[in-house]
Amino acid sequence: MRSFEGKRCLITGAGSGIGKAVAEAVAREAGQLVLTDLNEGALRETVRDIRTNGGQVLAAQALDIRDYQAVKAFAKALHKSHGSLDVVMNIAGISIWGEVEHLRHEDWRDAIEVNLMGPIHVIECFLPPMIEAGRGGHLVNVSSAAGLFGLAWHAPYSASKFGLRGISEVLRFDLEQHGIGVSLVCPGGVDTGLVNTVRIVGVDTESPTLVKMRERFRKHAVSPEQAARAILKGVKRNRYLVFTSSDIRIGHWFQCHCHWLYVRIMRRISRQMQAVAARSRLPRSGGEDA
């Protein structure tokens, strides 16, 4: 797919961050947008901004991608009004971290339901009509560096993102016969609202140590607009793995070709994060269940 012009493109998580930046970038290329987000106010703002700048939004609806029936109803109404889509982008997600002894059942479940089952609901409702239409198209699944690497504290997040990676790896080959490309996006640091809303269980996220970590993260993070440009470029070139920053690309190379060094680095990061947790841990009385 050489251009987004005239392509009907679904983007989840379009109210903020990477999702909003991708929606605005597709609009500038004359794509026809179908947008969703959990936050109705943020979604309305995205739609208003895009239309003010001359972009075309075919449909927009606030919904929770965890709710299969809501996604199914939205898809049914959309297909009735506008037909099948050309591009489906699973961008919506949440971030949950924590040491395993502090994680609660709901932390695991929330990560899986939003980051894995949510995209599955979207794929289930929107890909079969794309296949039936016979026009080809493209599927974009936004995973994470945590879908490639064994990063400390990331067990629930990685469970969901590795799962999405697995789905993408299968569909990469299964959808070739239908002319539908698949891109797995693995962002590293991106300076979005998730920096402040990431749920880190068992630690005080306002401790000086964690505040400094966020500041260092922001200094090395790319902007949502930079990430959006990388994603659109990856789709146009039909790339499977799409990296939004060079550090993750380099890390993946070492993981594949110099595994002993990757293991040493991961162990070092784990020890560093253990030290951070020790300095920032909530007291048992305030509790990780608070």
Measured CA to CA, the distance from residue 33 to residue 179 in angstroms comes to 21
Identify whether 240 is a catalytic site residue: no
Residues near 48 by beta carbon (within 8 Å), at least 6 away in sequence: none
First to last CA, the chain: 49
Specify whether the CB–CB gap between 37 and 90 falls below 8 A. Answer: no
**Helical spans, DSSP H, in the chain:** 17-28, 40-52, 68-82, 105-112, 118-133, 155-174, 194-197, 208-220, 224-236, 246-257, 259-280
Task: Please state, in angstroms and rounded to a whole number, the distance separating the CA atoms of residues 134 and 137.
Answer: 9
Going by C-alpha positions, the residue among 67, 90, 73 that lies closest to residue 9 is 90
Q: What angle do CA 97, 62, 20 make, to 5 degrees?
A: 65
Q: Of the residues 68, 157, 240, 262, which is catalytic?
A: 157
Which helix (H) or strand (E) segment is 183 a member of? strand 180-186
Catalytic residues: 157
